[in-house]
Structure 1
Amino acid sequence: MKTIFLLRHAKSSWDDPVERDFDRPLNARGRRAAETVGRYLRDQALAFDRVIASPAVRVIETLDGVEAGAGRRLGAGFDKRIYMASAPTLLDIVHETDAEAQTLLLVGHNPGLEDLIFLLTPEGSGTLRKEVDIKYPTATLAEMRFDVDGWEDIDEAGGTLTRFIRPRDLDPALGPDGT
């Protein structure tokens, strides 16, 4: 059994004047959401054998917030291919994961993360997949499980989406209307 977790970066600031999209930081709501997700990881006792993240500023700051909320380091490695990656590129990274790892957390961007869920889970496979189809909000954590022995065996429509937790599910103040 192999398990992939996907975490989309938290809400970034469009008000901060940066030259490159890559350098956009989180806004205050994004920092709160990242810490909230970290507390969720702590409360659910979720741990990852391998964490691979985009090196974009908003992802690094998301990881900082998650780690603060979780009260522990995640030990992320960074791979520039994740920045704005397509689902096939993300799947290549999954296939390259160390054989001994059972759980993998990818931290990155949309639409790649959302598209990876659509690639790896069967169409019409449940309520959670329908929620992804509606929207994959910032700072949302998804989990897919695969009944395979090796990461290289993960293939299209072979997974089951077992978790889709949005910040607003954990704290309604982090919802779209802020209530």
Structure 2
Amino acid sequence: MTCTLILTRHAKSAWDTDAPSDHARPLNKRGIRSSIALGAWLRDCGHVPEQVISSSSNRTRETYELMELDAPAIFIERLYHASSEVMFQVLREAEQNKVMIIGHNPGIAAFAHAILHHAPAHSRFEDYPTGATLVASFQIDRWSDLKWGSGRALDFAVPRELIGV
């Protein structure tokens, strides 16, 4: 059996906002376009998750909603600016075989690097920019069997390539 992870950093957020906190910051216009494009790319490539586990921040919620993936989502506080270790634990608790996690840097970049056996040959994988999305497979029956460095990258995209910005 195979488990698949779709690991997405939230799309570009607005800094010039009157949001009361970092947690409440919304997406900016480019982030909105990027989220829509990422959702289309995932659907076109057949990378639609069965379960979405996301940070509870406003910008991760908006990223998920604009992707229109038709997968149930849960929004959890412990993914807000989570470390790679927290993301690993959250994924090990996932209930479906095809899971998307939406989170924040620097934790999501560290997690992406640590979870794979080999990084994809993409110039932007190192810095994992906003909207960056990794699709990786794992030769396990359930997420509770997950081990560091065991994933194989299947795909990687950044919104700038999808929307031509």
TM-score scaled by structure 2?
0.92
The answer for the alignment partner of 2:137 in structure 1 is 145
What is the aligned-residue identity percentage? Answer: 32
Structure having the larger proportion of residues in helix: 1
The answer for the alignment partner of 1:132 in structure 2 is 125
Rounded Cα–Cα distance in structure 2 between residues aligned with 1:165 and 1:156: 22
The answer for the alignment partner of 1:87 in structure 2 is 84
Could you tell me how far 1:48 is from its partner in structure 2? 1.2
Rounded Cα–Cα distance in structure 2 between residues aligned with 1:126 and 1:33: 21
The answer for the alignment partner of 1:176 in structure 2 is none
List gaps (5 residues or longer) in structure 1.
Answer: 174-179
| 2:88 counterpart letter in structure 1 | L
List gaps (5 residues or longer) in structure 2.
Answer: none
Rounded Cα–Cα distance in structure 1 between residues aligned with 2:8 and 2:38: 9
Could you tell me how far 1:155 is from its partner in structure 2? 0.9
Query: How many residues are matched?
Result: 164
Rounded Cα–Cα distance in structure 2 between residues aligned with 1:125 and 1:15: 34
| 2:92 counterpart letter in structure 1 | H
Coordinate RMSD, CA, aligned: 1.5
Could you tell me how far 1:125 is from its partner in structure 2? 4.7
Cα deviations by residue, 1:70-116 (Å, 9 ceiling, x for unpaired) = xx533211111111000000000111112xx2111001111111111
TM-score scaled by structure 1?
0.85
Runs ≥4 residues deviating over 4 A? none
The answer for the alignment partner of 1:114 in structure 2 is 109
Rounded Cα–Cα distance in structure 2 between residues aligned with 1:146 and 1:62: 25
Cα deviations by residue, 1:32-89 (Å, 9 ceiling, x for unpaired) = 111111111222232212111111011111112111xxxx533211111111000000
| 1:57 counterpart letter in structure 2 | N
Larger Rg: 1
CA contact 2:50–2:71 (8 Å) conserved in 1: no
Rounded Cα–Cα distance in structure 2 between residues aligned with 1:40 and 1:80: 27
Rounded Cα–Cα distance in structure 2 between residues aligned with 1:13 and 1:126: 29
The answer for the alignment partner of 1:28 in structure 2 is 29
Structure having the larger proportion of residues in strand: 2
CA contact 2:113–2:119 (8 Å) conserved in 1: no
Could you tell me how far 1:20 is from its partner in structure 2? 1.2
CA contact 2:132–2:158 (8 Å) conserved in 1: yes
